[in-house]
Amino acid sequence: MTLYSGLLFNLECRYVVDDPQCPLCSQHEETVLHALWSCPKLAQVWNEDNQWSFKDMTFHDFPQLLLHVLNSECNVELFATQVWTVWFRRNKVRTTPPGFPLYLIAQRAYEALMEYRAAQQRTISTRSSVRLGARWSPPLDGWYKANFDAVTFQEDERAGIGVIWRDSKGLVMASASQNIQLMSSVVEMEALATI
């Protein structure tokens, strides 16, 4: 058994699950590769797009599949999002009734990727207000330092504020962020982050 193979076997040994069989097909042991790619029930997910036409190739584990995707002409972002959506749904099946059927995985993954790309474009457009030349310096030994910042999303009339606490070695002790209503100034939002 490889490091990536015995997903449910490992959980079974720890008494988290009773059976290492795949809950979708009940035919195979659920390895990471099986849970995300090779389960027969996932055929409808991966056969929907021709860029996954290598579906019939044999992979020994998930890292081998991932390496193939990275070295191919496939849309790596879409692959990663689709794998995440399969994993998300798989975990929902284990804890509660699934939130959406298998045939919607590809559509949900594509929508999530488009939402991510749109958010990245908004973030890039707001970076013009970033202060250049600011460098973090650690606090004295035994002390903690809080840094805070805010970002605006003008078109959504929203803002994000965040704070991070670090020790004298630069290790993160705590962090927090919040999505808030857009305020009149960045200074006002940064002040709110300190509260």
Which SS3 state, helix, strand or coil, does residue 114 take?
Answer: helix
Query: Does residue 57 lie in a domain region?
Result: yes
Task: Indicate the range of 33-37, 41-45, 70-74, 90-94 predicted with least confidence.
Answer: 90-94
Residue 33 token pair: 């590769």
Q: Are residues 111 and 155 in the same domain?
A: no
Token match 């207000």: residue?
129
Query: Does residue 139 lie in a domain region?
Result: no
Q: How confident is the model at residue 4 (pLDDT cuts 50, 70, 90)?
A: very low
- Please write the tens of the pLDDT for every residue from 51-97: 998 877 899 999 999 999 999 989 999 999 999 999 888 877 766 66
Query: Does residue 132 lie in a domain region?
Result: no
- Please give the tally of structural domains in the chain: 2
Residue 183 token pair: 């305020």
Q: Are residues 112 and 180 in the same domain?
A: no
Token match 């999303």: residue?
153
Q: Are residues 110 and 151 in the same domain?
A: no
Q: Domain ends where: 98, 126, 154? A: 126
C-alpha distances (whole Å) from 156 to each of 74, 118, 122, 190, 193 are 32, 12, 10, 19, 20
Whole domain around residue 171: which residue ranges?
144-193
Contacts of 40 (CB under 8 A, 6+ apart): 25, 27
Cβ-contact 164, 146 below 8 angstroms: yes
Query: Does residue 106 lie in a domain region?
Result: yes
Residue 82 token pair: 């689709």
Q: Are residues 116 and 149 in the same domain?
A: no
- Please write the tens of the pLDDT for every residue from 90-127: 877 766 665 678 888 899 999 989 998 888 777 655 55
Query: Does residue 138 lie in a domain region?
Result: no
Q: Are residues 102 and 164 in the same domain?
A: no
pLDDT of residue 3: 41
Rounded to whole angstroms, how far apart are CA atoms 158 and 93?
Answer: 34
Q: Are residues 48 and 111 in the same domain?
A: yes
pTM above 0.95, yes or no: no
Query: Does residue 73 lie in a domain region?
Result: yes
- 101 versus 188: which is more confidently predicted? 101
Query: Does residue 14 lie in a domain region?
Result: yes
